[in-house]
Amino acid sequence: MDEKVKFKLYRMSVWCGVVVLIANTFAFSVVGKLTPPISPTATPQQVADFLTDHRTGILWAAVIIGVFAPFFYAFAVVTSLQIRRIEGG
């Protein structure tokens, strides 16, 4: 494979990782309202109430994460290739 093409694919794969990071942050923070997390001292009833109140947002957050999950594959493959290159094959 031509080095220019390989470099472009690597660069695109790294940007895929950035897209996944932004999408997950948006899904957890804005849509799911899961940040900051529930207090560890919350009672089971408080946890159940929180999950019931935010059910739709949490489900949409899971959908968003599911849609953007395939972008992470490209990022993981390129990261693996770079680690293998650094280790010497």
Q: For residue range 28-75, what is the model confidence (pLDDT) as tens digits?
A: 999 999 989 999 999 999 999 999 999 999 999 999 999 999 999 989
Residue 84 pLDDT grade (very low, low, confident, very high; cuts 50, 70, 90): confident
Q: pTM higher than 0.85, yes or no?
A: no
CA distance 11 to 13: 5
Q: What is the pLDDT of residues 13-32, one digit of tens each?
A: 999 999 999 999 999 999 99
C-alpha to C-alpha distances, 12 to 20, 73, 78, nearest whole angstrom = 13, 12, 10
Residue 3 pLDDT grade (very low, low, confident, very high; cuts 50, 70, 90): confident
